[in-house]
Structure 1
Amino acid sequence: MTSSSFTPPVTPIAPGSLDDVAVLMPAYNGQADVDRTLASFSEDARIHVLIVDDGSMPPIVAPALPNMSIDVLRMPQNGGIERALQAGMEALAARGFRYAARIDAGDLTVPGRLAKQRTYLEAHPQVAGLGMWTQVVSRDGTPLFMLTPPAEPRAIRRVRFLRACFVHPSMMLRVDAVLAAGNYREAYKAAEDLDLFLRLMQRYDCANLPELGLYYELNEGGISATKRRRQIASTLRLQLRYFNVLNVCDWLGLAKNLLHFVTPYKTLQRMKKRFYAPRASL
């Protein structure tokens, strides 16, 4: 893999600076989505970005955007999001960044997200991962439903398998904590995020800011049944590994995912749209 040079973060970090934060975005093709996603960032300080190009053809090119320093780390071939994120975290650690702010190509962020998450993590050193509430939208920007996971670590631990407690592209992660927990892994394909969060919560806390931080694009036409079934199978394996027989929510979560395994994807999406009323729009 190859990478252009990154300007190391300034030490010490000046008040209001984001020089110890880097946006981490894996990408495979989709140059237009990369450009649109990065253009959605708006902060009062300079923004650092690491795009992990997972073997795109043609290669991803860093867009020229104001107030933004963008580097591209190129993987030698397409190896999947697990390897791309693992390499990205290792690269950020080598460059001295403390925080990695996740986002995926196609998603949009809200103004000031990075500063809010960094401020929270600075004030809560025991928290290793911090997500935000998320508005799910269609490809054309139509609001579909809102994801409002619990904010407090204790509540998250209780319902970790009953509901999705984190929206991966909304997360800001402590780089050293991720590496201490073993980094992203390929052991649980399509559930690499849940695998990481469960390992983080064995050592640290994880939380959510109870406010809108991300517009998550749901591309229903691009989701394959094979990938979905693999994701649910990996989730079930993780549930069994971390299962707490004394937690009724673990039992309910197991039943829920078994039901998901046999329920068509489009049926589940219709159920979500009925259950979650849209609370924000583009």
Structure 2
Amino acid sequence: MTNSSAAAQIPLDDVAVLMPAYNGQADVDLTLASFSETAPIHVLIVDDGSTPPIVAPVIANMTIEVLRMPQNGGIERALQTGIDTLAERGFRYAARIDAGDRSVPQRLAKQRVFMELHPRVAGLGMWTQVVTRAGKPLFMLTPPPEPKAIRRMRFFRLSLAHPSMMLRIDAVREVGNYRSEYGSAEDLDLFVRLMQRYDCANLPELGLYYELNEGGISATKRRRQVISTLRLQWRYFNPVNPYDWLGLAKNLLHLVTPYRALQRIKRLLLAPRASR
């Protein structure tokens, strides 16, 4: 779909990394230092009421703006504000990442090449290596690349890893931006709405190291996240799609299964892929 030599020549003037942050200055520094691109990188950190406030690190080849929210309002509001701010600044693409995660070299250039060649794609993810806080590989997330498969399995499996995504900003705003209606499942809510008008796809190569954080949203707000996902499934349920039925059963099971037990199951099922 794209190659490293072509990506290396791509300017990133219309791309900005969008990272919400609440405390965790060290994680912010680690994540931004992981980016390696030939072209200069633009970053918008949305500081969601951190105490003390997030400070932009000084990193070569990177221009960093910190937008401070007056108080902690949650990731949904931070991302919504971030998208609107980037639109006002004239950026076309928002590359998502979360504090603590790490990017692979040339991720942004590769994604921008693909997005330019596929104007109907409004969101583009990449394969993701899940790691511990210490960086130890746990398992690999390898969702399908094709829009049709992603749309069909949207409620059954993780088809788009949110921190790996590059988003077309005008499309995100066209469908209503990030919302707080489905708390802790703001990414799935956005992707479902995007796929009603556009396509979403994945580059089938490693693009992100995702840190499995016991203090992250998936752990601390898990019940809220599962309930929001079930509400989305009910709203957009397609009875002729067998994966919608499977997804419904899966998330009902998640609702009654402890988080750590689910993580152990994932590691057992997916750990062999981590060595690839």
Match status 1:46 vs 2:40: yes
Distance apart, 1:278 and its partner CA: 4.8
**Contact 2:138/2:274 (<8 A) preserved:** no
Q: TM-score, normalised by structure 1?
A: 0.92
Moved more, 271-280 or 243-252: 271-280
> Cα offset for 1:220?
2.3
Mapping 1:16-35, distance limit 5 Å: 16-35=10-29
2:256 to 262, 267, 279: 262
Report deviation, 1:116.
Answer: 0.2
Going from structure 1 to structure 2, the CA distance change for 1:175 and 1:224 (only over 3 Å counts) comes to: closer
In structure 1, distance between residues paired with 2:225 and 2:22: 19
In structure 2, the partner of 1:73 is 67
Identity %: 78
Counterpart in the other structure of 2:166? 172
Residue segments in structure 1 that go unaligned for 5+ positions in a row: 1-14
Against the structure 1 CA distance between its residues 118 and 273, is the aligned structure 2 distance closer, same or farther, given a 3 Å change threshold? Answer: same
1:163 aligns with 2:170: no
Q: Does 1:140 align with 2:134?
A: yes
In 1, Cα distance between the equivalents of 2:181 and 2:12? 33
Q: Deviation string for 1:154-193 (max 9, x for gaps)?
A: 0011111110111100000000000001000000000000
Give the aligned partner of residue 31 of structure 2. 37
> Number of residue pairs matched?
267
| Distance in 2 (alpha carbons) for counterparts of 1:280 and 1:168 | 19
CA distance in 2: counterparts of 1:206 and 1:246, whole angstroms: 21
Provide the C-alpha distance between the structure 1 equivalents of 2:213 and 2:76, rounded to a whole number of angstroms.
20
Letter in 1 for 2:258: P
Q: Secondary structure at the match of 1:150?
A: coil
Give the CA RMSD over aligned residues: 1.3
Q: Relative to 1, partners in 2 of residues 1:37 and 1:226: Cα closer, same or farther, differing over 3 Å?
A: closer
Deviations 1:6-62 (A, max 9, x none): xxxxxxxxx621000000000000001000000000000000000000000110000
Question: What pairs with 1:202-217 in structure 2 (closer than 5 Å)?
Answer: 202-217=196-211
User: Could you say what secondary structure the match of 2:60 adopts?
Assistant: coil
Distance in 1 between residues matched to 2:270 and 2:143, nearest whole Å? 12
Q: Distance in 2 between matches of 1:142 and 1:226?
A: 22
1:60 aligns with 2:54: yes
Letter in 1 for 2:133: R
Structure 2 segments unaligned to the other structure (5+ residues): 1-8
Q: 4+ residue stretches of structure 1 with deviation over 6 A?
A: none
Which of 98, 106, 112 aligns to 1:104? It is 98
Cα distance in 2 between the residues matched to 1:60 and 1:33: 11
Please give the alpha-carbon distance, in whole angstroms, between the structure 1 residues aligned to 2:132 and 2:212. Answer: 5
Residues 157, 105 of structure 1: alpha-carbon distance in 2 compared, 3 angstrom cutoff: same
Equivalents in 1 of 2:142, 2:185: separation in Å?
20
Q: 1:224 to 1:70 in 2, by over 3 A?
A: closer
Contact 1:143 1:278 in 2 (8 A): no
Q: Decide which of 104, 109, 117 is 1:115's aligned counterpart.
A: 109
Matching residue's letter, 2:224: R
Q: Conserved in 2, the CA contact under 8 Å of 1:103 and 1:169?
A: yes
* SS of the residue 2:249 aligns to: helix
Indicate how the Cα distance of structure 1 residues 120 and 225 shifts in structure 2: closer, same or farther if over 3 A, else same. Answer: closer
Equivalent residue number for residue 188 of structure 2: 194
Please give the alpha-carbon distance, in whole angstroms, between the structure 1 residues aligned to 2:224 and 2:167: 25
Q: Secondary structure at the match of 2:203?
A: strand
- 2:10 touches 2:113 (CA, 8 Å); kept in 1? no
CA 1:264–1:57: 2 relative to 1, 3 Å: same
Deviation (angstroms), 1:277: 2.4
Match of 1:231 in 2: 225
